């Protein structure tokens, strides 16, 4: 049975500042999305990569991938995305061929995840876990607040015990049928989640955490681009 990776790459990336869609911004001269596709293709376990492009950008993304070298054995498909990350992932899942039993969902915005992290997630799914997320302990203490008007001080409601918290990354790995069920349930209930594992939790299916990696950080704000360039430069040194 084969494993596929779905890469939602349809976001505008407004927090990064003005410019092209985030996934198409260059890192070390190569679009972030190409790094993310290569990071998935680097795992010998991944035989298909489904890229979810901006709704009107599928032809452009297809050209981009044709221009950049990917491993010979990697098959890829490009499909148009939706208005939210969740819709984009669902559209990617809809495109999977029947023989795919395990699925990774990986943000294009995490271009530098090391192959060992990818392999560890796939392995845990193949060992029988229906849902696996890579995650790291937090450096910052986290407060729950009562969100107020912008610029106004916000009352603190609680402080979760930091040692029990994890910041989750991608690729998150799933038994295909479990993830499809989770997305279908949400399509009906209208409830959302900020990651795919969150949807699976809502089904009552157990989710487990494996160690993530510092270099799997999400490129969200301008400072993240500086860090990503530095990581790439160090790898190339």
Residues that bind ligand C5P (CB under 6 A): 8-11, 22-23, 52, 81-85, 88, 107-109, 218, 220
Q: How far is the CB of 86 from ligand C5P (least distance, A)?
A: 8
Strands 208-211 and 131-137: parallel
Q: How far apart are CA 198 and CA 203, in angstroms?
A: 9
Pair of tokens at residue 217: 């950080």
Instruction: Give the residue with the Cβ less far from ligand C5P, 99 or 214.
Output: 214
Q: How far is the CB of 206 from ligand C5P (least distance, A)?
A: 24
Instruction: Give the residue with the Cβ less far from ligand C5P, 3 or 170.
Output: 170
Q: How far is the CB of 228 from ligand C5P (least distance, A)?
A: 13
Pair of tokens at residue 198: 């969150």
Beta bridge partners of 2: 100
Q: How far is the CB of 82 from ligand C5P (least distance, A)?
A: 6
Q: How far is the CB of 183 from ligand C5P (least distance, A)?
A: 14
Q: How far is the CB of 156 from ligand C5P (least distance, A)?
A: 25
Q: How far apart are CA 231 and CA 226, in angstroms?
A: 9
Peptide linkage before 129 cis (omega within 30 of 0)? no
Instruction: Give the residue with the Cβ less far from ligand C5P, 149 or 167.
Output: 167
Q: How far is the CB of 180 from ligand C5P (least distance, A)?
A: 17
Instruction: Give the residue with the Cβ less far from ligand C5P, 10 or 113.
Output: 10
Q: How far apart are CA 113 and CA 218, in angstroms?
A: 9
Instruction: Give the residue with the Cβ less far from ligand C5P, 38 or 85.
Output: 85
DSSP state of 40: H
Q: For the chain, give percent helix, strand, coil, nearest 5.
A: 40, 25, 40
Instruction: Give the residue with the Cβ less far from ligand C5P, 77 or 101.
Output: 77
Nearest C-alpha neighbor of 166 from the set 120, 222, 207: 207
Q: How far apart are CA 37 and CA 58, in angstroms?
A: 15
Instruction: Give the residue with the Cβ less far from ligand C5P, 11 or 130.
Output: 11
Nearest C-alpha neighbor of 214 from the set 139, 105, 106: 139
Q: How far apart are CA 29 and CA 133, in angstroms?
A: 30
């Amino acid at each position: 049975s084969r494993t596929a990776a779905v890469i939602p790459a349809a976001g505008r990336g407004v927090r990064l500042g003005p410019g092209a869609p985030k996934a198409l911004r260059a890192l070390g001269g190569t679009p972030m999305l190409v790094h993310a596709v290569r990071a998935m293709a680097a795992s010998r376990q991944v035989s298909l990569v489904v890229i979810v492009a901006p709704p009107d950008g599928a032809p452009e993304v297809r050209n981009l991938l044709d221009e950049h070298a990917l491993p010979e054995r990697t098959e890829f498909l490009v499909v148009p995305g939706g208005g939210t990350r969740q819709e984009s992932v669902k559209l990617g899942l809809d495109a999977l061929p029947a023989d795919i039993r395990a699925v990774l969902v990986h943000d294009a915005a995490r271009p530098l995840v090391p192959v060992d992290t990818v392999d560890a997630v796939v392995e845990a799914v193949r060992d029988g876990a229906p849902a696996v997320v890579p995650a790291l302990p937090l450096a910052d203490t986290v407060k729950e607040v009562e969100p107020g008007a912008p610029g106004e001080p916000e009352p603190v409601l609680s402080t979760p015990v930091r040692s029990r918290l994890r910041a989750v990354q991608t690729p998150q790995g799933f038994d295909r049928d479990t993830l499809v069920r989770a997305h279908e349930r949400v399509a009906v209930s209208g409830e959302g989640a900020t990651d795919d594992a969150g949807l699976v939790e809502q089904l009552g299916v157990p989710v487990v955490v494996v160690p993530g990696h510092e270099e799997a950080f999400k490129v969200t704000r301008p400072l993240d681009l500086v860090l990503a360039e530095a990581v790439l430069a160090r790898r190339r040194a």
